[in-house]
Structure 1
Amino acid sequence: MIERRKTRQIQLGSVGIGSQHQVSVQSMTNTDTRNIDETVAQIHRLEAAGCDIVRVAVPDRDGAVAIRQIKDRIKIPLIADIHFDYRLAIGSMESGADGIRINPGNLGGEEKLARVVEAAISNRVPIRVGVNSGSIEKDLLKQYGYPSPENSRALIESALRNVQLVEKYGHHEIKISIKSADVLTTINSYRALSQATDYPLHLGVTEAGGLIAGTVKSSVALGILLSEGIGDTFRISLTRDPVEEVRVGFELLRSLKIRERGPELISCPTCGRTRIDLFALAEEVEKFVQTMESPLKVAVMGCVVNGPGEAKQADIGVAGGNGVGIIFKKGEIWKKVHEDELMAVFMTELKKMEQESK
């Protein structure tokens, strides 16, 4: 049983963040925020996949203004991602953003930061102080050197310095993130930061890469940290459709038995007995179950020889054959179906089981 590190509680819209609450899965849209319909459509897909919190880029004033219309059409909390222009942070909060992500050191000085903090207090908006290896102040780099697995002091000190600036102006609804593209630097930095503060922490490996590299790097770093009780929210950063980030995120939480949402998918790695396009079958089932909430165990197996036996713990499973497949439940064959109809029959039964479990 993983024991969560004790952290303060903050409220981000409808989602509570901190050790009293479940670990939240976050993602970020890759649409132009000013394109309201496209952005809303992507957020709806993220919501269907279980995303708890979404972040949007705010490139200019029109992007800040668009937040109001986006907020009116979505259910999950929205964070405005701000860089350099303090006015966009203020405008985003006035448009209804539930939270903002800033690096206080790049907003143009303390006077401008003070105005952002004042707006955050008046709008009751938490601030995520985000620092990464590429944004560390020059004096800290000179003093401590560039962050590495052996020495992450510059990253830690930069985060704490920027947190203190926000605190200086009276705001304590804070979440912190410190990111590196290096897995070991990320792990050791968050370990050190968790000892230095009790603010909630947002985890992530920045610029992690595409589906394979990004999933591996993020899962290693975040899996280790979460298994140690460190982390209150996280994002799996992938150069992919952001829905994929959410899918990987929930599988990571499931593997650590931290949180389960929807069915668990079991699928075999294939072998020479496979006579069906198992890759396509497994991918289609995986996408379908991502929108389900019932904790069913679903199996996709390559052949009827071993399928039901190897996956006998599955609530329902499908196994391919040569022109004919089978659908089985708890290791027992339930129905034989022609290959052309196999997926349709299987999906129909899955939907039925989902409804019955509610």
Structure 2
Amino acid sequence: MSYKHPFQRHKTREVAIGNRVVGGTNPILVQSMTTPDTHFVEEVVKQIHLLEEAGCELVRVTVPKAEDAGALGEIKKQIHIPLICDIHFDYRMALMAMDHPIDKIRINPGNIGGFDRYRQVLRKAKSKGLPIRIGVNAGSLEKDLVEKYGFPCPPAMVESALRYLEIAEEEGLRDIVVSLKSSDVLTAVEAYRLFAKQADYPTHIGITEAGKPPYAVTKSACGLAPLLLDGIGDTIRISLLGDPVPEIIAAFDILQATQRRVRKPELIACPTCGRLEIDLEGIIAQVEKRLEGKKTPVKISILGCVVNGPGEAREADLGIAAGKGKGVIFRRGEIVRHVLESEMVDALMEEVDRWELEEKMNGTLKEEIGLGSPEKRVALPLARG
């Protein structure tokens, strides 16, 4: 029941990060960053386990001190997703971190300390077989570029990324991911679009320092949705103040809304108005509760009146169009049941279970789907430890 959107993902090269691969036609991976000091191993591991449970697929830790680098091996032993080290200012921390079992290094070209130190990091990464992320940030752009352009604008950010990519290629390192982050939505979006026209390296997309939810989630969605709809982005992070677990939920919600990764049922409901003649909020709450944990990518529509209800329900995989105290259940556009309001939730869930069973029997049940080309929807594997 889905319209075939004319979507084409930006073609990027593949880069392996631990046991995952980004770029190409691989799923857009969701990542986050821990908040405790990295040398507090128990706290960091506990938080990473919570992130894993939420679906996090890549995790980053900061390494500002030698004791943080020394904790990396113990952290790596206790987690199940690739471990990325975030380096600012002191290139020696990057060199030290790479002596431990990590999966990627993220550096900021604006504060790594110059080209010679950057080359040292590149050479060691190449010798260790590690990928890097060149993390350009509008807030720490190189001084000469700020002077050239007058302010940290998108062309300046892209020039920064390209100059560091050129040096990496000179050193023979091509396993590189690039990010061009800004706390300004328009700056970030334009920077990523400009970069995508000039390079085929995979990108990590995000709006940096977005702030506190719920506004920060809205701000991130405004910045990332246009990029995702343009086919840009190979990994994603929603930067939120505080507990990082909500970052994972928000990231997957944005990926689901843009149909880049659909990994759970989508529930559609009307905003309610004076025409409503059933307890729609109560019904939605019950259905949401009973859908928890389900991974079937089925679109479910529950509409509370006869104006848009029948049409919307027909466009969904499953749907309810309700009137006064009763309604009809649609399945693939056809009416399959007439039900009373008191029966709606149980009847709908029976149809959800039947949908899952039939899809399994037909061999067509997908744990997760995403738009891979204008012609087809492509099955994607769920993240596992």
**TM-score normalized with structure 1 length:** 0.79
Query: Does the residue aligned with 2:71 lie in a helix, a strand or coil?
Result: helix
Give, in whole Å, the separation in 2 of the partners of 1:168 and 1:143.
25
Conservation of the 8 A alpha-carbon contact between 2:207 and 2:223: yes
Residue 239 of structure 1 corresponds to: 241
Which of the numbers 237, 256, 260 marks the counterpart of 1:254? Answer: 256
Residue 323 of structure 1 corresponds to: none
Offset at residue 3 of structure 1 (A): 0.5
Offset at residue 107 of structure 1 (A): 2.4
Alignment partner of 1:140 is 2:142: no
Residue 372 of structure 2 corresponds to: none
Conservation of the 8 A alpha-carbon contact between 2:31 and 2:59: yes
Residue 379 of structure 2 corresponds to: none
Question: Where does the alignment leave 5 or more consecutive residues of structure 1 unmatched?
Answer: 320-327
Give, in whole Å, the separation in 2 of the partners of 1:21 and 1:227.
16
Query: Does the residue aligned with 2:74 lie in a helix, a strand or coil?
Result: helix
Offset at residue 179 of structure 1 (A): 0.9
Conservation of the 8 A alpha-carbon contact between 1:211 and 1:240: no
Residue 107 of structure 2 corresponds to: 102
Offset at residue 229 of structure 1 (A): 1.3
- Report the CA distance shift for 1:263/1:129 in structure 2 as closer, same or farther (over 3 A): same
Q: Which amino acid aligns with 2:203?
A: L
Alignment partner of 1:230 is 2:235: no
Residue 322 of structure 1 corresponds to: none
Residue 6 of structure 1 corresponds to: 11
Offset at residue 120 of structure 1 (A): 0.8
- Report the CA distance shift for 1:284/1:13 in structure 2 as closer, same or farther (over 3 A): farther
Query: Does the residue aligned with 2:102 lie in a helix, a strand or coil?
Result: coil
Conservation of the 8 A alpha-carbon contact between 2:206 and 2:220: yes
- Report the CA distance shift for 1:111/1:147 in structure 2 as closer, same or farther (over 3 A): closer
Alignment partner of 1:111 is 2:113: no
Give, in whole Å, the separation in 2 of the partners of 1:229 and 1:69.
37
Query: Does the residue aligned with 1:200 lie in a helix, a strand or coil?
Result: coil
Aligned length, in residue pairs: 345
Equivalent residue runs for 1:184-195 within 5 Å: 184-195=186-197
Query: Does the residue aligned with 1:158 lie in a helix, a strand or coil?
Result: helix
How well do the aligned residues superpose, as a CA RMSD in angstroms?
3.9
Give, in whole Å, the separation in 1 of the partners of 2:163 and 2:44.
34
Give, in whole Å, the separation in 1 of the partners of 2:65 and 2:164.
23
Residue 159 of structure 2 corresponds to: 157
Which of the numbers 35, 40, 48 marks the counterpart of 1:43? Answer: 48
Residue 32 of structure 1 corresponds to: 37
Offset at residue 174 of structure 1 (A): 0.8
Offset at residue 69 of structure 1 (A): 1.5
Of stretches 269-278 and 116-125 in structure 1, the one that deviates more from structure 2 is 269-278
Alignment partner of 1:202 is 2:204: yes
Conservation of the 8 A alpha-carbon contact between 2:182 and 2:207: yes
Equivalent residue runs for 1:1-358 within 5 Å: 1-148=6-153, 152-266=154-268, 269=271, 282=285, 285=288, 289=292, 292-297=294-299
Offset at residue 64 of structure 1 (A): 1.5
Deviations 1:63-103 (A, max 9, x none): 22222122112221111111111222122222211001101
Give, in whole Å, the separation in 2 of the partners of 1:287 and 1:172.
47
Of stretches 41-50 and 131-140 in structure 1, the one that deviates more from structure 2 is 41-50
Q: Which amino acid aligns with 2:77?
A: D
Conservation of the 8 A alpha-carbon contact between 1:155 and 1:189: yes
- Report the CA distance shift for 1:6/1:274 in structure 2 as closer, same or farther (over 3 A): same
Equivalent pairs: percent with the same residue?
A: 42
Instruction: Choose between structure 1 and 2 for higher RCO, CA contacts under 8 A separated by at least 6 residues.
Output: 2
